[in-house]
Amino acid sequence: MNYPRTLQWRGDAADGKLVIIDQTRLPGDLVYLDLERLEQVIDAIQRLAVRGAPAIGVAGAYGCVLALREGRGEAGLELLAQARPTAVNLRWAVERVWKEAKSDASRALEAAKRINAEDVAACEAIGRHGAQLIRPGMGVHTHCNAGALATSGMGTALAPMYVAHGNGVKFRVFADETRPLLQGARLTAWELAQAGIDVTVIGDDMAAIVLREKKTQLVITGADRIARNGDTANKVGTYALALAARAHGAPFYIAAPKSTFDTAARNGADVPIEERKESELREWQGALLTPHGARVFNPAFDVTPAELISGYITEDGILSAAEITGWLG
């Protein structure tokens, strides 16, 4: 399947490096970054050069190798785990590497490679399970980027689209542009267009009319953290999209691997929501978009309540909210 390889480890634990696509440069330039130090990985995660919950989990796992070979120990790993707060995959991956490898960088690399391989396999399984929801002629709606660029495999929300396309199903994707950083317009549209999938970008504020006019009949998004009751944190705007989907009778699915489910979060109120800097809303390429006197509120995520979600497309099949706790164990 034709999708971008977002990150890969090259070399061994002693002198290898993490190579990532710099997502801040897309769609204009396809540029790769070599990350050879812990601080570079933290910086890449914080400025969204690598982003998307599973991708930052895998990047975090490889970041542990760099931290340990620098002799940074558990404190270095904690810094890494805190780089972004909402996507639970990051802390999950860092804690798993520490549990499996302690301060041994070679064993950390083995653990990171296992996490990477599991992510690739989970994406493929999500793609297979979710593809059955996509019927010929359908319009499929998505928000932000939960594609290959957001994982180390073929994505979560976009994986069913890659599989359906590979099966010869003809459908159309509507991608919300996703203010303020435009992950939908820049990243989702880029990777789907590269794969030859019919994609149309709309402003976030156009989602309701697109659903009302039945241009889209199915919504699939990714997730950054899913609580035990099914409440789901994802890119800000997902909640509004779920409300519009409910109002217009379109099923709304979340696609995510087990590593995005937080066994410790009882509901959405337990999920920390990252607030990002004002300049992301205030400026565009150096030009002011808002007057100095106006305040800016910039939460990066919101929580969609479980009652608006039709199901969760996971590597083990499509679950209802009621099935989550039993499945997580």
Enumerate the active-site residues.
Answer: 224
In 3D space, the residue among 275, 313, 256, 280 whose CA is nearest the CA of residue 52 turns out to be 256
- Residue nearer to ligand MRU on the CB measure, 18 or 150: 150
SS3 call for 300 = coil
Please classify residue 249 by burial: count the beta carbons closer than 10 Å to its beta carbon, then call 0-12 exposed, 13-18 middle and 19+ buried: exposed
> Rounded to the nearest whole angstrom, what is the least distance from the CB of residue 87 to ligand MRU in the complex?
6
> Rounded to the nearest whole angstrom, what is the least distance from the CB of residue 124 to ligand MRU in the complex?
14
Look up residue 271 and give its two tokens: 């999920």
> Rounded to the nearest whole angstrom, what is the least distance from the CB of residue 208 to ligand MRU in the complex?
20
Please classify residue 34 by burial: count the beta carbons closer than 10 Å to its beta carbon, then call 0-12 exposed, 13-18 middle and 19+ buried: exposed
- Residue nearer to ligand MRU on the CB measure, 97 or 175: 175
Chain residues that interact with ligand MRU, rule: CB under 6 A: 48, 51-54, 87, 144, 146, 150-151, 156, 183, 221-224, 234-235, 300
> Rounded to the nearest whole angstrom, what is the least distance from the CB of residue 14 to ligand MRU in the complex?
31
Tell me the backbone φ, ψ of residue 328, rounded to 5 degrees.
Answer: -70, -25
Q: Distance between CA atoms of 71 and 60, rounded to whole angstroms? A: 16
Half-sphere exposure of 327 (CA within 13 A, CB side): 22
Count the neighbouring beta carbons within 10 Å of the beta carbon of residue 185.
Answer: 20
- Residue nearer to ligand MRU on the CB measure, 227 or 300: 300
> Rounded to the nearest whole angstrom, what is the least distance from the CB of residue 183 to ligand MRU in the complex?
5
In 3D space, the residue among 83, 36, 106 whose CA is nearest the CA of residue 20 turns out to be 36
Look up residue 68 and give its two tokens: 């340990």
Q: Distance between CA atoms of 238 and 36, rounded to whole angstroms? A: 35
Residue nearest to ligand MRU (CB): 222
Cβ neighbors of 50 (< 8 A, separation 6 or more) are 6, 7, 20, 21, 23, 44, 56, 59
> Rounded to the nearest whole angstrom, what is the least distance from the CB of residue 42 to ligand MRU in the complex?
14
- Residue nearer to ligand MRU on the CB measure, 109 or 234: 234
**Single-letter amino acid, residue 99:** K
- Residue nearer to ligand MRU on the CB measure, 8 or 24: 24
- Residue nearer to ligand MRU on the CB measure, 183 or 229: 183
